[in-house]
Chain A
Amino acid sequence: MVLSPIFALGIEIAFYLLFAISLYASSKRFGMQTTQLLLVGATIWTIIIENFIVLNGGYDYYAYSTGSFPGYMVWVGVVPLWIILGWFVMTTCSYILTDTLLPGRSPLTRSLMTALISLNIDLLLDPVAVATGLWRWTHPSVYIIGVPLTNLIGWFLIVFVFILGFETRIVPQIGKAGMNPNPHGYDWWKMLARFLRLFLILVPAVVIATFVVLVVLIPYSNLSGPFRNVFPAPYSWWS
């Protein structure tokens, strides 16, 4: 059900506020340098993955669009900015909670916990988004309370792999640089380059894994089409 356009704009503005709060919380916890690293990393990570899946007909954000207005104020490609920053909000808040509750545990355990907390948030966020048209799922899949199973698996994977990469490749380097907290900081650009090099392997891995799940679930779809994709699946996965 599409509500008033004011609702969509209100949610967009509210997410910018949530982003500001999360940024502040993260800077308090991890320091400004590491927060910036997480922010740039999470932003690039989600811009690539989200745009790729939208352009491949997985879902879209155009329920509130009118002839002249695309429904939200700021976009990064075909994805609203608040969605991109929303990932940072979810990931950072979950990561801070994990860092508080499970200090000194293995990266695997901490990544798992972070991904589970994020998934917990999504269990409410996604059904609400579907019910109010904030985004629309546009591919055949096994749907549970209006949300495809692909999303729940993809959501978990995106957060889990991102944090696992950060915990195994970046955190030890930050530790080596003696930053915890270190007034002199570390070589931020070098650390970012290291993080981005990691993405060259991890982003394709996550995208491929999500698409494999998506394609595997198509024969078991419990929702009949037609799926009105703004960006039709270019490889005719289901159209």
Chain B
Amino acid sequence: MIGKPQTDAVKWVSIAMGLLMTMLMVSVVLAGVLVGFTSLAESMLYASATIAPLALLLFFALRKTNKAASKNLPK
């Protein structure tokens, strides 16, 4: 680890990625159908499938930093 184990940084990364993914989902709707897909539903399914691994990683990162932060709380 080269950085400080701060919950804050990961929280802000989650916010940035959340915004980006929301923006991309809205764009999928605006575009109608992504190239190579036959319907909006299929396109949305693909979009959700690509977001899922990132969402999982963000979840684990947040959980890890939250645990570290709670350990450091004064008793």
User: Which of A's residues lie within 8 Å of B, judged by CB?
Assistant: 1, 3, 7, 11, 14, 17-18, 21-22, 24-26, 28-31, 34, 89, 93, 96-97, 99-101, 103-104, 117, 120-121, 123-125, 127-128, 130-132, 144-146, 171, 174-175, 180-181
Contact = CB atoms under 8 A, between A and B. Distances in A.
Given A7-B30, A99-B1, A21 B47 contact: no
B41 interface: no
9 contacts: A18-B19, A21-B15, A22-B16, A29-B4, A100-B65, A127-B34, A127-B36, A128-B24, A128-B27
Nearest to B60: A101
Contacts of A96: 3, 9-10, 13
Interface of B is mostly: helix
Contact of A145 (B1, B6, B35): B35
Interface of A is mostly: helix
Interface residues of B, number: 41
Contacts of B20: 18, 89, 121, 125
Nearest to A171: B2
A11 B23 contact: yes
A181 B31 CA distance: 45
A97 B19 contact: no
Contact of B19 (A14, A26, A121): A14
Given A29-B3, A130-B35, A97 B23 contact: no
Contacts of A30: 2-4
B3 A121 contact: no
